[in-house]
Chain A
Amino acid sequence: MATVVRMPQMGESVVEGTILRWLKQPGERVAKLEPLLTISTDKIDTELPAPVDGVLLEIAVPEGATVRAGTVIATIGAVGERVAPATPPSVAAPAVTAPVTTSSAAAPAAPTRDTRPTGRAFISPVVARMSAEHGVDLAQVPGTGLGGRITRKDLEAYLANVRREVAEGEEGAAVAAPEPLPQLDAEDVLEPLSTMRRAIAQHMVLSKRTSPHVTTICEADMTAVVRHREANKRTFTRNGATLTYTAYFIAAAVAALRAVPEVNSRFTDAGIVRHARMHIGVAVALPDGLLVPVIRNADELSLAGIARALNDLVNRARDGLLKPDEIRGGTFTITNHGTGGSLIATPIINQPQSAILGVGAIVKRPVVRSSSASLLPSADDAIVIRPMVYLSLTFDHRVLDGAQADRFLTAVKEQLENWEN
């Protein structure tokens, strides 16, 4: 009995993937979990492991081809098994002229090619072919036929819905009719959009359109953190981790999320989802764009744990080795734009989260310290030089109001200023 390999769904909004390279060729043996191929989506490049032990019988989608998630891309069979031809020779049907991605579904009766999803009473041949071509998980499609059967119309409605959702992430006009090529002057060049660039563009527009953004800013004295880091970074390095300031900001954010849990949430029409877990996304700049790997369950990690997880994610992000799971599911995001020297920024919320913390550069600045509580000039006032940082919280005003945002930011500030081990 052969096993089909499908293009996986690599993220909530990722609907297709490109085959970069087949690491095995038909006829070769594969072991379960052994890398079978590398694929690329608009978010990430990754290796896909073989789901079972066996022999690669057939590659259905060649290198370089882009197919929708769910499309059958290969067949793995038992040792000695042969790939069933799309049209068994004993049957008088002509070869199906459909594109290669659908050929597997064209003979639903062939036992080795049963692409029908399980758990449904009856999938009509028309629906089977359509869903195979479009890579649709039929379990997601509501059926309106007798006994809940999925009809062609149901599937078309579902696909139209998906298309609409995708379109909502893009500029409507761009979907309806592609813009004409821009006029170029003599020396100008037109650089085609990379999939990552396009995804970032879509996501940013979507976010700006979805959430009313408000930004609140405060500053924090980093003396305690700097002192702690100076004292501990060598130990960390010995243990194989680099202790960056970002790790402190993550730890401070986790503490603040605990203090003001409303921030760890997402807006839906049905209500505001309060996340129990804290999965912190960290923006990582790449030469050709931006990725936001997620530190899962950051609330369970010590500073060392955070630092180690962060190092690992950042390194693999730069090497293009992140797994799909590692770039999704965040509940809150931090962007340390200060690493480039920026003092203050108002980042765009990473949808569907409710807020994003922007961290500027830590610079020594003169600040006034005083033991007097009065704002009036006092003999106790003194100008001192301190490592200072601007913190900005950009939040979704549908979910949060200024008061909660400021409480959160103040909690971050206090955590940083009073850092103890």
Chain B
Amino acid sequence: MADHGYQYDVVVVGSGPGGYVAAIRAAQLGLKTAIVERENLGGVCLNWGCIPTKALIHNAEILEELHNAADYGFSFDNLKVDFGKAVKRSRDIVSRQTKGVGFLMKKNKIEVIEGHGVFVDSHTLQVTPSEFKPEAKEQRITAANFIIATGARARSLPGTQIDGDRIIQYRDAIVLKEVPKKLIVVGSGAIGMEFSYVYSTYGAEVTVVEMLDQILPLEDAEVAAEVQKVFSKRGVTMLTSTRTEKVEIGADGVTVTVKNVKTDEVQTLTADKVLMAIGVQPNTDSLGLDAAGVKVEKRGFIEIDEVMRTNVPHIYAIGDCTGKLALAHVASAMAIVAAETIAGAPTLPIPADRYIFMPRATYCDPQVASLGYTEAQAKEKGFEVKVGKFPFMPNGKAQALNAKVGFVKIIADAKYGEILGAHLVGPGVTELLPELSLAQMMEITPAEIARNVHAHPTLSEVLMEAAHAVEGHPIHM
């Protein structure tokens, strides 16, 4: 980069799947890059989110299969379940993964700076020791460009303090020493449903409280209904259209007062722990954004354009702190655009209306994967839609896997065939989504997906059938 008199071409603040990807891409493009992290490399995703939960969920899946062992002709009467071992396994994976990020930083000659970064002005970051890195060296670093990738943290209900013991958030839930007897989960998004799945499978009595009128409120109504059926069978209580009014900590548990917003009926629930999973708030409040002149909107998310640039032209922001779609892979995609823009390399900007088409995944059982509009949203948007839906039930591979629920639902524009939404629920659907997200991006229609030959027997045949169904002609129906 040009001789600009700053120490670095780019400094990335935060090393989650947004930040570390941005740093790698910037370094690949020849920029002198540093990354500032106040905790551990990899951010929430690697340390507290995506990765460790998947480990726990796989444990839960195995456990659930063991519960169904008789279906396969296995029987035993001394099954011992060690939840502590499950948590340890997930932590081991985390430590391997964060080491991997450290290795990638070294390989790309990216300087890792430990500590908490605060802007002093738009080109200077003051780095101070953080609660996680008390040994960090106090220093000032300057850069021609910054990429803010500080992520977000769990939000709580107004007036309810997360204490990490009775009232917990995902960071606590991921490392519980033992399975609570009774758990109340407030919020039924991906985080709420994944922990509900893990803990209910491990024997907790779980109640999910959702203020909106369906669980998984961002998902298609039919998908939510399918998940609700399975969770009900599992013994999870789900209270929808129910607002959490009060959370009180008592001597031997928590009391939660909830109110059905439709009937005004009030209930008092008790549990050992309450997990707050109602969403996130951005980590933008202790960053010195004022000093840098970076604008945030009223909830604190940083405003960006389609190349991730903030109102300050040399400061970019990516990932959860921008409030677009708080998912790791979205942050990584944004990271690449930001780094390429800074380097002046060709890039593919992400306009605001593209985020809805990025893949979303919830790893409870049954898995949920989706992109684009729900059927209701598509109609609301004024599209004339064609909907194709095909269940996993008749699929040979699904039967072999003992998977009996779920379906693939594709929503296409009736006129030109463009995929407007895809909603999958069932076995392994998070791995099936990429075919549809690629098709959506490249504007390939269900007609082509239906003609794309899918290997038999695979779960992916259900995709093909759903695509046929859009055209009205599924084969195995």
Q: Is the CB of A122 within 8 A of B473?
A: no
Chain A neighbourhood of B471, CB < 8 A: 93-94
Q: A130-B416, A152-B418 are in contact. Are A124 and B468 (CB under 8 A)?
A: no
Q: Is the CB of A98 within 8 A of B418?
A: no
Interface residues in B203-218 (C-beta closer than 8 Å to A):
none
Q: Is the CB of A94 within 8 A of B473?
A: yes
Q: Is the CB of A124 within 8 A of B473?
A: no
Q: Is the CB of A126 within 8 A of B348?
A: no
**How big is chain B's contact interface, by range?**
10 to 19
Interface residues in A94-151 (C-beta closer than 8 Å to B):
94, 98, 106, 109, 122, 124-127, 129-130, 145-146, 149, 151
Task: Mark interface residues in A273-297 (1 if CB within 8 Å of B CB, else 0).
Answer: 0000000000000000000000000
Decide yes or no whether B415 CB sits under 8 A from chain A: yes
Task: Mark interface residues in B454-477 (1 if CB within 8 Å of A CB, else 0).
Answer: 000000000000001001110100
Q: Shortest beta-carbon distance, A120 to chain B, in Å? A: 13
A145 to B440, CA, bound (A): 13
Chain B neighbourhood of A151, CB < 8 A: 443
Task: Mark interface residues in B183-203 (1 if CB within 8 Å of A CB, else 0).
Answer: 000000000000000000000
A130 to B417, CA, bound (A): 10
Q: A91-B451, A93-B473, A152-B418 are in contact. Are A125 and B468 (CB under 8 A)?
A: no
Task: Mark interface residues in B434-462 (1 if CB within 8 Å of A CB, else 0).
Answer: 00000000111101101100000000000
Q: Is the CB of A126 within 8 A of B472?
A: no
A251 to B416, CA, bound (A): 55
User: Which of chain B's residues has its CB closest to A130's CB?
Assistant: B416
Q: Is the CB of B442 within 8 A of A124?
A: yes
Q: Is the CB of A125 within 8 A of B473?
A: no
Q: Is the CB of B445 within 8 A of A125?
A: yes
Q: A151-B443, A152-B418 are in contact. Are A145 and B475 (CB under 8 A)?
A: no
Cβ-neighbour of B417 out of A94, A129, A145 (below 8 A): A129
Chain A neighbourhood of B413, CB < 8 A: 126
Q: A92-B468, A93-B473, A94-B472 are in contact. Are A125 and B415 (CB under 8 A)?
A: no
Cβ-neighbour of B447 out of A93, A130, A146, A152 (below 8 A): A93
Task: Mark interface residues in A80-100 (1 if CB within 8 Å of B CB, else 0).
Answer: 000000000001111000100
Cβ-neighbour of A152 out of B348, B416, B448, B473 (below 8 A): B416
Q: Is the CB of A145 within 8 A of B418?
A: no
Chain B neighbourhood of A109, CB < 8 A: 451
Q: Shortest beta-carbon distance, B340 to chain A, in Å? A: 12
Q: Is the CB of A145 within 8 A of B348?
A: yes
Which of the listed residues B416, B417, B418 has the most CB atoms from chain A within 10 Å of its own CB? B416
Q: Shortest beta-carbon distance, A390 to chain B, in Å? A: 58
Q: Is the CB of B451 within 8 A of A126?
A: no
Q: Is the CB of A98 within 8 A of B443?
A: no
Q: A92-B468, A151-B443 are in contact. Are A126 and B418 (CB under 8 A)?
A: yes
A164 to B471, CA, bound (A): 35
User: Which of chain A's residues has its CB closest to B474's CB?
Assistant: A92
Q: Is the CB of B348 within 8 A of A146?
A: yes
A306 to B388, CA, bound (A): 67
Task: Mark interface residues in A183-203 (1 if CB within 8 Å of B CB, else 0).
Answer: 000000000000000000000
Q: Is the CB of A124 within 8 A of B444?
A: yes
Chain B neighbourhood of A129, CB < 8 A: 415-417
Q: Is the CB of B472 within 8 A of A125?
A: no
Chain B neighbourhood of A127, CB < 8 A: 443
Task: Mark interface residues in B326-351 (1 if CB within 8 Å of A CB, else 0).
Answer: 00000000000000000000001000
Chain A neighbourhood of B468, CB < 8 A: 92
Cβ-neighbour of B442 out of A91, A106, A122 (below 8 A): A122
Q: Shortest beta-carbon distance, B129 to chain A, in Å? A: 43
Chain B neighbourhood of A126, CB < 8 A: 413, 416-418, 443-445
A126 to B418, CA, bound (A): 6
Q: Shortest beta-carbon distance, B6 to chain A, in Å? A: 32
A181 to B447, CA, bound (A): 45
A146 to B472, CA, bound (A): 32
Q: Is the CB of B415 within 8 A of A124?
A: no
User: Which of chain B's residues has its CB closest to A125's CB?
Assistant: B445
Chain A neighbourhood of B442, CB < 8 A: 122, 124, 149
Q: Is the CB of A98 within 8 A of B415?
A: yes
Q: Is the CB of B450 within 8 A of A93?
A: yes
A129 to B416, CA, bound (A): 6
Interface residues in A310-363 (C-beta closer than 8 Å to B):
none
Chain A neighbourhood of B444, CB < 8 A: 124-126
Q: Is the CB of A125 within 8 A of B443?
A: yes
A152 to B443, CA, bound (A): 8
A106 to B451, CA, bound (A): 14
Q: Shortest beta-carbon distance, B434 to chain A, in Å? A: 16
Q: Is the CB of B472 within 8 A of A124?
A: no
A202 to B447, CA, bound (A): 42
A122 to B448, CA, bound (A): 14
Chain B neighbourhood of A145, CB < 8 A: 348
Q: Shortest beta-carbon distance, B413 to chain A, in Å? A: 8
User: Which of chain A's residues has its CB closest to B413's CB?
Assistant: A126
Chain A neighbourhood of B450, CB < 8 A: 93
A91 to B475, CA, bound (A): 12
Q: Shortest beta-carbon distance, B12 to chain A, in Å? A: 24
- Sample of 10 A–B contacts (CB below 8 Å): A92-B468, A92-B473, A93-B450, A94-B471, A94-B473, A109-B451, A125-B444, A126-B444, A129-B415, A146-B348
If A109-B451, A125-B443, A125-B445 are given as contacts, then 12 extra A-B residue pairs at C-beta distance below 8 Å, sorted by A number, are A91-B451, A92-B473, A93-B447, A93-B471, A94-B471, A124-B443, A125-B447, A126-B416, A126-B418, A129-B415, A129-B416, A152-B443
Give 8 nearest A-B pairs by CB, closest first.
Answer: A124-B443, A126-B443, A126-B418, A126-B416, A129-B416, A125-B445, A94-B472, A146-B348
